[in-house]
Amino acid sequence: MNNHPRNRYLVLSLSVFFIIIVSALSIYHRTDEPLLIPNRMVELDQDWDIYYGEMFVKTTTLPTELKVGPETTYYVTTILPHTPDDYDHLLLRASLQDVTVYLDGELIHHKENSREGWLRTPVTSTWELVFISHDYQGKELLVELKSETAAFAGDINPMLIGSADALLLNILKTNWIGGFIGSILLLAGLVYIGLSFSYNKYGDNRILYLGLLAVSSSIWIIGESKLLQFITSNPFVIGALSYLMVPTMLVFMSLYIKEVTTKRFRLTFRLSAVFYSVLTLSMIILQQLNVYSYIELISHTWFLLVGLSLLQIGLLLYEWFVDKNLAVVQLFRYFFVLFVAFFIEAILFALERFQAISSILRIGFLIFFVFLFYDAYKYVKVSAEQERERRALQKLAYKDLLTDGFNRTAYERDLAKYVGAPNSDFRLILIDLNGLKQINDTYGHANGDHAIITVHHTLEEIFTDHGTCYRLGGDEFAIIMSNGDRKLYQNLIIRFRHQLLTNEHGLNYPIDVAIGSDVYHHGINFNEFYHHVDQLMYQNKRERKRPQDN
């Protein structure tokens, strides 16, 4: 009885129970004791005055958004609170914005995105960690903001003041889910890409496309997690990759669906992948030529991307209803996870639970890929089993069942390689077991088989290090030696005949063989050469028979 399914569910149930117990005990034993890195920071969210030039607009709390156009400069000011002296850094998020910070009219920080020339550096959204002198309490903090993009013109993000370590830790605490999920997908994607190249017997490229889809999705998620500055300060990596991954993900998704799901519309999905690839390249060119920024390009192409994606969904639905393609149903089940994640995000947005919004979508992406990875794992497993079966059948095809050595099929395969290779000379040896019929008639076929096995094993014992042995059928054997040296051949034949005499000791019948051999030189007619060697073997058979007759 197979207990594997029962054991699997038992282990899974116990694991879930263990997680529940540990989680419950962790909640029960929670403490308010300070962390290893204390939470040394405060939010500067109250009493901010907003100005356009000299014109006062309003007093507000952060975050907030103003209705202004691109390239509009606006200011926010506040009086810094009385906080401990080690609260010596200001943290703010510049969302595709230029930022200038003043303390009591003194410039203490400036970040400006390049706007000029070809090969333009992308506009970036960055964390700005600003050092503030220790006597800042009670002084006026003024932050000047400007953005060239309509999407972020007027945005004023939250600001915090505290120690640098606490502020950086806060970034990690509030954005770790994106970095964690992105890292998992990146690692899994790289594994699948490596797997696709390590084994060339897959029936299609789904493993490669899934790996590339996971890597591109991971780069997008990590880019959107606001953690890239912990890895690099490169503005192209920070400001471009997450935007470029949007059409890139659609490239590999189209190729994956073409390979795995659709049968009717394979060409359409291949052309869609080409279109998304051209779009990605066009985005790079237009941004580098300073025609549009990446966020503007995404905005301009958004309806095109959504429209083509909806067309692809429509084609899959058509294939589902018309062709009853169950692979489409399975893919839609996986996409339903993303739909649920989007739906939950919409609810959280309506409830103004902004911090949880992006986390839900990223978790949805992770679950979506878990399903795809599991399907790929099953495909890899089946492919490996099929390859093992193929190799086993191939081995049987080249195997002589009586001697457990190579058969005529293997001989013809290897011989074709030698004959077809340029400048390849080799020695062919033909062996024939003398008197097999008499052994079968006198001592039985079991002893005849034993004689065949004895000859073959003796050949392998002597010639294995110098060539390959084959049983061609019945009482015929052959050896192919890459080294045609005559002296080596003669020494091996002497050793073989001596060993054969030793191996026949104790048998009721003698074992003797006839041997013919010569060296094949590249370019000569092989059929004539084979006939020549065969005649040498029969000549040797006649010579060895005469003494017995006399």
Residue-by-residue DSSP string for 14-70: HHHHHHHHHHHHHHHT---PPPSS---EEE--S-EEEEETTEEEEEE-SSEE----T
How far is residue 526 from each of residues 258, 369, 425, 523, 529, measured CA to CA in Å? Answer: 49, 58, 12, 8, 5
pLDDT-based confidence at 39, cuts 50/70/90? confident
Task: Report CA torsion sign: 47, 158, 143, 147.
Answer: negative
User: What pLDDT, on a 0 to 100 scale, did the predictor assign at position 550?
Assistant: 46
Is the pLDDT confidence value at 477 over 50? yes
How far is residue 531 from each of residues 39, 88, 397, 412, 500, measured CA to CA in Å? Answer: 92, 96, 26, 16, 26
Give the tens place of pLDDT for each residue, 398-437.
899 899 899 999 999 999 999 888 878 899 999 999 989 8
What proportions of the chain, in percent to the nearest 5, are helix, strand and coil?
55, 15, 25
Is the pLDDT confidence value at 390 over 90? no
CATH number, domain 41-162: 2.60.120.260
Q: Which of 86-100, 360-374, 387-401 has the lowest mean pLDDT?
A: 387-401
The sheet that has 89-94: what strands, in order across it? Answer: 41-43, 159-162, 89-94, 126-131
Q: How far apart are CA 372 and CA 337, in angstroms?
A: 12
Is the pLDDT confidence value at 548 over 70? no
Note the CATH architecture for domain 167-392. Answer: Up-down Bundle (1.20)
Q: How many Cα atoms occupy the beta-carbon half-sphere of 195 within 13 Å? A: 24
Give the tens place of pLDDT for each residue, 131-160.
998 889 999 999 999 999 888 888 999 999
Is the pLDDT confidence value at 358 over 70? no
User: What pLDDT, on a 0 to 100 scale, did the predictor assign at position 220?
Assistant: 92
Domain(s) labelled CATH 1.20.1070 in the chain stretch across: 167-392
Give the tens place of pLDDT for each residue, 202-224.
778 999 999 999 999 999 999 98
Domain(s) labelled CATH 2.60.120.260 in the chain stretch across: 41-162
User: What pLDDT, on a 0 to 100 scale, did the predictor assign at position 198?
Assistant: 81
Give the tens place of pLDDT for each residue, 512-533.
999 999 999 988 899 999 999 9
Average the pLDDT over 263-290 and give the result: 95
CATH top-level class for 408-549?
alpha beta
User: 154: left (phi > 0), else alpha (psi -120 to 50), else beta?
Assistant: left
Nearest to 92 by CA among 70, 111, 66: 111
Residue 307 neighbours by CB under 8 Å, 6+ apart: none
Is 293 in contact with 148 (CB distance < 8 Å)? yes
Give the tens place of pLDDT for each residue, 279-321.
999 999 999 998 889 988 988 898 899 899 999 999 999 999 9
Residue 126: CB atoms within 10 Å: 21
Is the pLDDT confidence value at 357 over 60? no
Domain(s) labelled CATH 3.30.70.270 in the chain stretch across: 408-549
Average the pLDDT over 14-20 and give the result: 80
Over its C-alpha atoms, the chain yields an Rg (Å, rounded) of 39
